[in-house]
């Protein structure tokens, strides 16, 4: 009973249609194990003298830990060990630090304060699960309850409680701004020219991944001074690297076994149970299992984060959307986890699959005292897609046009320029709309029926328009009360000439120079350096300090041996108190005259900004080294 | 508290165990008897991943005290195949792609077997009713229901 239907007549000439498997039944290679009960998930390994770990957790959204009294718990039957924050060798991490994105902001076990309900403050290791549970309940914590904030917009106010000490403004740092900026054309000019303005707010709730198998890991001391770890993680090497970092041990001492996951859906990348179990095994010398029960999975397990989107459209009476602005709020919860990435990913998706000549977006990743959010099935995309498509219906209603017709009218055609300055290819929304209308018995006009993704692009739709730039919302300004608005501002401070593609940039300085990723080598560089090189930086690429036009890199970079160009040296992330107006963006003609202020910074190592905690400096390497040309032949070359 | 001796048959083999007084049948089967096919999903009787047959009836082993198994006949997915030849349900699950992560599969198979043993030619509605206590989060209910129905047809043929 296959419900799959193939429309092979669509784009037939663009496709070499010799697929061998698509459309044919296949036997899963792992299914025999599933139906015989022999598939071994992490918990399906038996060990003698297995110990069980349970956590004592915060009942408060936000509280300082005055003291933790473990004396009663330690005397309870079966208790082998109580683990506190001080037992974690390097008790501060952020998941994406392994790919150089973000600052370490989250302890494995909270030591001084908790920032969400359910955050672990201690762990008990006992002979049985029940004994561990009873002892964990007997741990007494002296709390100093702090005011909390649970709403993203409340968290942006200058007097909001500070959720995460590493990000005192309650926003993730997208250097040099406290949000991701997308600027394409001039959205306010577009609004002024539009017949109708349609604005609405959309709110999504957190969603728990709820896999059938809860998160967990079993760690076992092995011979040769290694720790074996069976885990249900979705990201085996991520979990291994995170464990090595948190426990300050070389990754060569860790033997991770995984890959058989009882459902993940994004909820098993956070790598919490693995370091906990391995720490337990190190401290007790015995096999230790740390398995979340269902309540923990629901309460503590990081969900898809809540999102709030404000969409404002400028529409002509004929249905053409001429301007669209977004204000997006990703609720990261108390710590970053993967929400920083959700923000950038979401922005790359804007304005949805539609050709709109003026687009602007301010997207925030905001810390609140809610459960930290993480990956889940298209996170960063599904929420804003929901908002965009609801909004399309709203727009259709306002201008009195059939909702499918409105989508066909505005849909990307092959060759159109997207707001992030890449050309749309292999578009198919028009055809999707037509098939959906057919299936639903929806009447389409002859014009809509004749539309095609292959035709309809124009020189205007292919062009990159002149773009209004602004400098509003630098890190720290909001907290200081100097900026209150969150929507893309009308106060433009410069214009980017039409046709400017922009250049690649690093969102924030990397923590360790040897972890710098060379964009040339991972294939993220814009395709045409000559075209990109002279352009003034786009949006987040703007340098933190006002710099002369020559801040841009030379037009043609040497292929590999150049100093890392992708990290604009934001030596002082704290912005100047009142940023002087940004000079007019560079004209292409100026580009080959580097001047003094920027020269020393380029290629140099970023000194650690004073306000941040000490960057992680392992005395033993935890195998990571992408910036060593020639070290490995597997790391050189360009993926394209 | 002293451990309690429990004797039962597990997939037609006799088993004797000492169990903790408050422990459940799921742990006794998994860690005591070494049959890892029933899974822990919730411990609250909502997900069905731990479903086993006790005297032919489906039971949630996470909510069954281990000592309650005394003298009973217990069947799990590990005993479903006869030697190397698979049960009709297993074959139908394989051919119908009725598992993704596979974590709910042992429970699903036990709930389905209880149904087919009682009612060899169930309707689609009866199949849906029989697995209504078993959650699948990869949301493959349709292929699972199809596979169970295919197994009944295979048996008739």
Q: Is the Cβ–Cβ distance between A370 and A116 less than 8 Å? A: yes
For residue A40, being part of any structural domain is answered with: no
Q: Is the Cβ–Cβ distance between A437 and A157 less than 8 Å? A: no
pLDDT confidence of residue A200 = 98
Range from A314-318, A584-588, B107-111 carrying the lowest mean pLDDT: A584-588
Name which of B10, B18, B31, B40 to mutate to probe chain A: the one with the most chain A Cβ atoms within 10 A of its Cβ. B40
Q: For strand B73-75 and strand B4-10, is the pairing parallel, antiparallel, or unpaired? A: parallel
Question: If pLDDT is split at 50, 70 and 90, which confidence band does B1 have?
Answer: confident
Instruction: List CB contacts (< 8 A) between B142 and chain A.
Output: 1
Q: What is the CATH number of the domain that holds A198?
A: 3.30.365.10
- Residues A612, A613, A618, A621: is their CA dihedral positive or negative? negative
Alpha-carbon distance of A78 to A84, in angstroms, equals 18
How far is CA A324 from its chain centroid? 23
Q: What is the pLDDT of residues B45-90, one digit of tens each?
A: 999 999 999 999 999 999 999 999 999 999 999 999 998 999 999 9
Other beta carbons within 10 Å of A542: 25
| DSSP class of A384 | H
A196 in the same domain as A90: no
For residue A168, being part of any structural domain is answered with: yes
CB neighbours of A48 closer than 8 A, spacing ≥ 6? A287
For A208, name the nearest residue in chain B, comparing CA atoms only: B137
Q: What is the pLDDT of residues A137-159, one digit of tens each?
A: 999 999 999 999 999 999 999 99
pLDDT confidence of residue A636 = 33
Helix A403-410 and helix A382-399, axial crossing angle in degrees, nearest 10 = 110
Q: Is the Cβ–Cβ distance between B66 and B22 less than 8 Å? A: no
Alpha-carbon distance of A327 to A472, in angstroms, equals 14
Instruction: List CB contacts (< 8 A) between B34 and chain A.
Output: 46
What is the torsion angle, in degrees rounded to the nearest 10, for the CA atoms of residue B15, residue B16, residue B20 and residue B26?
Answer: 0
pLDDT confidence of residue A615 = 54
Residue B102 to residue A30, Cβ atoms within 8 A: yes
pLDDT over 60 at A527, yes or no: no
Binding-site residues on chain B for chain A (CB distance < 8 A): 20, 22, 31, 34-44, 46-47, 49, 76-78, 80-81, 86, 89-90, 93-95, 97, 99-106, 109, 135-138, 142, 146
Question: If pLDDT is split at 50, 70 and 90, which confidence band does A100 have?
Answer: confident
pLDDT confidence of residue A25 = 78
pLDDT confidence of residue A223 = 86
Alpha-carbon distance of A394 to A396, in angstroms, equals 5
**Residue A563 structure tokens:** 């100093």
pLDDT over 60 at A536, yes or no: no
For residue A109, being part of any structural domain is answered with: yes
A423 in the same domain as A386: yes
Other beta carbons within 10 Å of A397: 12
Question: If pLDDT is split at 50, 70 and 90, which confidence band does A319 have?
Answer: very high
Q: Is the Cβ–Cβ distance between A303 and A373 less than 8 Å? A: yes
A224 in the same domain as A130: yes
pLDDT confidence of residue A616 = 54
A358 in the same domain as A277: no
Instruction: State the distance between the two ends of chain A, measured CA to CA, in whole angstroms.
Output: 39
Q: Is the Cβ–Cβ distance between A83 and A275 less than 8 Å? A: no
Domain carrying residue A319: 152-207+304-462
pLDDT over 60 at A184, yes or no: yes
Instruction: List CB contacts (< 8 A) between B146 and chain A.
Output: 1
**Residue A114 structure tokens:** 């908790």
Of the candidates A462, A497, A525, which is a domain's last residue?
Answer: A462
Q: What is the pLDDT of residues A12-68, one digit of tens each?
A: 888 777 777 777 778 999 999 999 999 999 999 999 999 999 999 999 999 999 999
Which burial class, exposed, middle or buried, applies to A166 when counting CB atoms under 10 A from its CB (0-12, 13-18, 19+)? buried
Instruction: List CB contacts (< 8 A) between A28 and chain B.
Output: 94, 97, 99-100
Alpha-carbon distance of A493 to A500, in angstroms, equals 17
Which burial class, exposed, middle or buried, applies to A153 when counting CB atoms under 10 A from its CB (0-12, 13-18, 19+)? middle
pLDDT confidence of residue A577 = 40
Other beta carbons within 10 Å of A344: 18
**Residue A69 structure tokens:** 């009294």
A221 in the same domain as A201: no
Mean pLDDT value of segment A182-195? 97
Instruction: List CB contacts (< 8 A) between B46 and chain A.
Output: 294
Q: For strand A321-333 and strand A307-315, is the pairing parallel, antiparallel, or unpaired? A: antiparallel
Mean pLDDT value of segment A351-360? 97
Alpha-carbon distance of B99 to B77, in angstroms, equals 14
A439 in the same domain as A385: yes
Q: What is the pLDDT of residues A413-463, one digit of tens each?
A: 999 999 989 899 999 999 999 999 999 999 999 999 999 999 999 999 999
Considering only CA atoms, which of A324, A20, A69 is closest in space to residue A184? A324
Range from A145-159, A522-536, B1-15 carrying the lowest mean pLDDT: A522-536
| Residue A470, φ and ψ in degrees, nearest 5 | -150, 165
Smallest CA–CA distance, residue A344 to chain B, in Å, is 28
Long-range contacts of A389-397 (CB under 8 A, 24+ apart): A389/A352, A390/A200, A390/A202, A391/A198, A391/A200, A391/A202, A391/A311, A391/A313, A392/A352, A394/A198, A394/A200, A395/A198, A395/A313, A395/A315, A395/A319, A395/A321, A396/A319
Name which of A33, A37, A77 to mutate to probe chain B: the one with the most chain B Cβ atoms within 10 A of its Cβ. A37
Strand partners, A220: A228
A219 in the same domain as A201: no
Alpha-carbon distance of B21 to B52, in angstroms, equals 20
In chain A, the number of structural domains is 2
A271 in the same domain as A219: yes
A364 in the same domain as A271: no
A263 in the same domain as A395: no
pLDDT confidence of residue A26 = 85
pLDDT confidence of residue A320 = 97
Residue B41 to residue A212, Cβ atoms within 8 A: yes
Alpha-carbon distance of B89 to A148, in angstroms, equals 53
Of the candidates A462, A482, A514, which is a domain's last residue?
Answer: A462
User: DSSP secondary structure string, B91-133?
Assistant: HHHHHTT--SS-SSHHHHHHHHHHHHHH-SS--HHHHHHHTTT
**Residue B5 structure tokens:** 């001796």
Q: What is the pLDDT of residues B96-119, one digit of tens each?
A: 999 999 999 999 999 999 999 999
| Residue A479, φ and ψ in degrees, nearest 5 | -60, -35
pLDDT over 90 at A178, yes or no: yes
CA angle B97, B102, B106 (to 5 degrees): 105
A258 in the same domain as A382: no
| Residue A53, φ and ψ in degrees, nearest 5 | -115, 135
For residue A417, being part of any structural domain is answered with: yes
Complete domains list, chain B, with CATH: 4-79 (3.10.20.30), 88-152 (1.10.150.120)
Q: Which of B34, B97, B104 lies closest to A46 in CB terms?
A: B34
Alpha-carbon distance of A429 to A273, in angstroms, equals 42
Q: Is the Cβ–Cβ distance between A156 and A478 less than 8 Å? A: yes
What is the Cα Rg of chain B in Å?
15
pLDDT confidence of residue B65 = 97
Q: Is the Cβ–Cβ distance between A444 and A388 less than 8 Å? A: no
Mean pLDDT value of segment A2-6? 69
Q: Which spans in A194-304 are helix H? A: 236-246, 273-284, 294-299
Q: Is the Cβ–Cβ distance between A472 and A491 less than 8 Å? A: yes
What does each C-alpha distance from A201 to A308, A384, A388 come to in angstroms?
7, 11, 10
Binding-site residues on chain A for chain B (CB distance < 8 A): 1, 25-28, 30-41, 43-44, 46, 50, 128, 130, 210-214, 261-265, 291, 293-294
Composition of chain A by helix, strand, coil, percent to 5: 25, 20, 60
Smallest CA–CA distance, residue A541 to chain B, in Å, is 40
For residue A441, being part of any structural domain is answered with: yes
Higher pLDDT, A560 or A347: A347
Q: What is the pLDDT of residues A212-228, one digit of tens each?
A: 999 999 999 998 899 99
CB neighbours of B140 closer than 8 A, spacing ≥ 6? B97, B98, B99, B100
| Peptide linkage before A464 cis (omega within 30 of 0) | no
- Residues B73, B76, B78, B81: is their CA dihedral positive or negative? positive
Of the candidates A407, A440, A462, which is a domain's last residue?
Answer: A462
**Residue A458 structure tokens:** 């124009």
Q: What is the CATH number of the domain that holds A263?
A: 3.90.1170.50
Alpha-carbon distance of A108 to A101, in angstroms, equals 18
**Residue B96 structure tokens:** 């119908």
| DSSP class of A372 | P
**Residue A191 structure tokens:** 């609004």
For residue A535, being part of any structural domain is answered with: no
Query: How many Cα atoms sit within 13 Å of A384 on the Cβ side?
Result: 28
| DSSP class of A374 | B
For residue A541, being part of any structural domain is answered with: no
A257 in the same domain as A124: yes
Q: Which of A26, A32, A294 lies closest to B42 in CB terms?
A: A294
CA angle B49, B51, B56 (to 5 degrees): 160
Alpha-carbon distance of A135 to A79, in angstroms, equals 7
Alpha-carbon distance of A147 to A135, in angstroms, equals 29
């Amino acid at each position: 009973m296959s419900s799959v239907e193939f429309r092979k007549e669509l784009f037939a000439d663009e496709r070499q249609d010799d697929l061998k498997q698509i459309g044919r039944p296949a036997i899963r290679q792992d299914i025999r194990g599933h139906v015989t009960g022999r598939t071994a998930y992490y918990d399906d390994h038996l060990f003698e003298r297995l110990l069980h770990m349970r956590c004592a957790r915060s009942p408060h959204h936000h509280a300082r830990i005055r003291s933790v009294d473990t004396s009663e718990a330690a005397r309870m039957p079966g208790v082998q060990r109580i683990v506190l924050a001080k037992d974690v060798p390097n008790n501060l991490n952020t998941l994406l630090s392994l790919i150089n994105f973000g600052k370490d902001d989250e302890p494995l076990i909270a030591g001084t304060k908790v920032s969400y309900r359910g955050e672990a403050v201690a762990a008990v290791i006992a002979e049985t699960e029940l004994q561990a549970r009873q002892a964990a309940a007997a741990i007494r914590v002296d709390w100093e309850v702090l005011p909390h904030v649970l709403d993203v917009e409340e968290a942006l106010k200058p007097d909001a409680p500070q959720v995460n000490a590493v990000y005192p403004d309650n926003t993730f740092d997208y250097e040099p701004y406290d949000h991701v900026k997308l600027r394409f054309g001039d959205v306010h000019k577009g609004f002024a020219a539009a017949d109708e303005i349609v604005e609405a707010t959309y709110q999504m709730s957190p969603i728990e991944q709820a896999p059938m198998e809860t998160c967990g890991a079993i760690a076992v001391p092995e011979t040769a001074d290694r720790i074996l770890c069976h885990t249900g993680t979705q990201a085996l090497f991520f979990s291994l690297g995170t464990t090595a970092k948190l426990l300050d041990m070389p990754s060569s001492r860790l033997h991770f076994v995984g890959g058989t996951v009882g459902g993940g859906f994004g909820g098993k990348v956070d790598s919490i149970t693995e370091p906990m179990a391995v720490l337990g095994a190190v401290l007790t010398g015995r096999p230790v299992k740390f398995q979340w029960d269902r309540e923990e999975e629901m309460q503590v397990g990081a969900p898809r984060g809540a999102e709030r989107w404000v969409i404002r459209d400028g529409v002509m009476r004929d249905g053409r959307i001429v301007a669209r602005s977004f204000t997006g709020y990703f609720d990261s919860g108390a710590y970053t986890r993967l929400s920083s990435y959700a923000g950038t990913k979401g922005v790359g998706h804007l304005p949805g699959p539609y050709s709109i000549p003026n687009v602007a977006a301010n997207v925030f990743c905001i810390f609140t005292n809610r459960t930290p959010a993480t990956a889940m099935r298209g996170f960063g995309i599904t929420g804003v897609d929901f908002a965009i498509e609801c909004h399309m219906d709203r727009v259709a209603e306002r201008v009195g046009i059939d909702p499918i017709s409105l989508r066909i009218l505005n849909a990307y055609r092959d060759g159109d320029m997207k707001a992030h300055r890449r050309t749309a290819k292999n578009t198919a929304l028009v055809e999707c709309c037509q098939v959906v209308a057919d299936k639903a018995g929806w009447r389409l006009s002859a014009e809509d029926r004749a539309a095609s993704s292959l035709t309809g692009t124009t020189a205007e739709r292919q062009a990159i328009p002149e773009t209004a730039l602004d400098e509003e919302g630098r890190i720290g300004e909001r907290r200081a009360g100097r900026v209150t608005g969150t929507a893309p501002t009308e106060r433009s401070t410069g214009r980017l000439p039409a046709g400017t593609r922009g250049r690649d940039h690093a969102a924030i300085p990397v923590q360790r120079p040897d972890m710098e990723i060379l964009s040339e080598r991972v294939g993220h560089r814009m395709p045409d350096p000559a075209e990109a090189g002279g352009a003034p930086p786009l949006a987040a690429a703007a340098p933190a300090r006002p710099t002369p036009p020559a801040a841009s890199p030379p037009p043609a970079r040497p292929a590999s041996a150049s100093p890392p160009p992708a990290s604009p040296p934001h030596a002082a992330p704290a912005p100047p108190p009142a940023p002087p107006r940004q000079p007019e963006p560079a004209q292409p003609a100026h580009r080959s005259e580097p001047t003094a202020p920027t020269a020393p910074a380029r290629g140099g190592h970023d000194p650690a900004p004073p306000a941040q905690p000490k960057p992680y400096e392992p005395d033993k390497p935890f195998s990571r080294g992408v910036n060593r040309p020639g070290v490995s032949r597997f790391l050189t070359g360009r993926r394209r | 508290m002293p451990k309690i001796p429990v004797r039962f048959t597990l997939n037609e083999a006799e088993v004797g165990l000492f169990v903790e007084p408050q422990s459940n049948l799921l742990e006794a089967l998994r860690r005591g008897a070494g049959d890892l096919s029933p899974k822990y999903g919730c411990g609250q009787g909502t997900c069905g991943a731990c479903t086993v047959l006790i005297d032919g009836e489906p039971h949630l082993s996470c909510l069954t005290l281990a000592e309650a198994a005394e003298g009973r006949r217990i069947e799990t997915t590990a005993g479903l195949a006869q030697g190397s030849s698979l049960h009709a349900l297993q074959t139908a699950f394989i051919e119908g792609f009725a598992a993704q992560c596979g974590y709910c599969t042992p429970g699903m198979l036990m709930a389905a077997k209880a149904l087919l043993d009682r009612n060899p030619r169930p309707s689609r509605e009866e199949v849906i009713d029989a697995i209504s206590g078993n959650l699948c989060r990869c949301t493959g209910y349709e292929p699972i229901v199809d596979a169970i129905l295919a197994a009944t047809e295979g048996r008739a043929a």
